[in-house]
Amino acid sequence: MKPKIILAAMILSGSTQVLAAPAPVSEAASSQSSIEKRLATLENMMQQRNFLQAELQQQLNSLQDEVSQIRGVTEEQSYKLEKVLQRQRELYQEIENRVSQAYAAPAATPPSSDTSSSEQSFSSDLSENEAYERAVALIMKDKRYDQAIPEFQAFLTTYPDSVYTSNAHYWLGQLLTIKNDGVKAAEHFKIVVNEFPNSNKRPDAMLKLGTLLQEQDLKAQAQKILNELINQYPSTTAAKLATERLSK
C-alpha cells in the first residue's frame, strides 16, 4: 500500500511542475509590452520635439525676414536724409557765395540775399528739412517772395522748436522788409537778436534791425543796437557795415 501512495505523490508532484512551467512566458510578455509602451512614449516625445524645432525654425526665419526688411527701410531713410542734407549744404554754399558778391558791391545787394554763414546744424526729421528747404527755394530759386512769407509762417507753426527757427524769423524779416513792412520785419529781427543768442543769423539780424530803427527815426535805439553789434561781433562783415552806417 505504501509504494502506491508514494507513486501517486510523485505523479502529482510532476503534474504541478508541468502546470507551473508556463509562468516565465507570461512575465516575458508583460515585460515586452512595458518596453513597447516606453518606446511608443519616446517616439511621441521625439515627434513633439521635432515639431517644436520646426516651428521655432519657422519663427526664426520670419524674424530674420522682418529684420532684413527693417534694415532695408533704415538704409533707404538714411540715404534720403543724406540727399536732403547734401542739397542743403549746396543751397547754403550758394547763399554764402551770393552774400560774398553782395558785400563786394553793397549798392547792388539783392533784397533776397541771406547775410549769414552756412548752417551749423541740420534736423534729423526729413519732413522738417524738406519744409524748410521748400520755403528757402521760393526765395533763392523761384524769387516768389510773396508765396515764401506764408510758407515760413506755416513752418514756424508746424515746427516751433526747429533748429531752423531763428533762420525762419530772419527770412521773414527780410521778406517783410521787401514789402516795406518795416514794423513787422523789425519784430522778427528782434526775435532773432533777443531769443537766439547763439544763432549765426544774430549779427546780420542786429544790422538789419538797426537799419530799420534808423529808418523809423528811432535813432537812439538804432545807435544802441549797432554799437552792441560792433562790440559783440567786431570781426564780422555786419560789424564793419554797422561802423560805416554809424559814421554817416
For residue 166, pLDDT over 60 is answered with yes
11-48 pLDDT, tens digit per residue, is 555 544 444 455 555 666 667 777 877 877 888 888 88
Phi, psi torsion values for 208, nearest 5 degrees: -65, -40
- pTM, entire model: 0.54
What lies within 8 Å, CB to CB, of 240 at 6+ separation is none
The residue with greater pLDDT, 139 or 248, is 139
CA distance 191 to 27: 101
For the chain, the average pLDDT equals: 77
Q: Which pLDDT score is estimated for 6?
A: 55
- State phi, psi for 164 to the nearest 5 degrees: -100, 10
pLDDT at 141 over 60: yes
Confidence band for 225, pLDDT divided at 50, 70 and 90: very high
Which of the residue ranges 71-75, 92-96, 162-166 has the most confident prediction, judged by mean pLDDT? 162-166
Fold type of domain 124-247: 1.25.40
Tell me the range of 25-34, 52-61, 93-102 where mean pLDDT is highest: 52-61
What was the pLDDT predicted at 86?
67
The structural domains of the chain, with segments of one domain joined by +, span 124-247
Report the distance separating Cα 226 and Cα 219, nearest Å.
10
Percent of the chain with pLDDT strictly greater than 70: 69
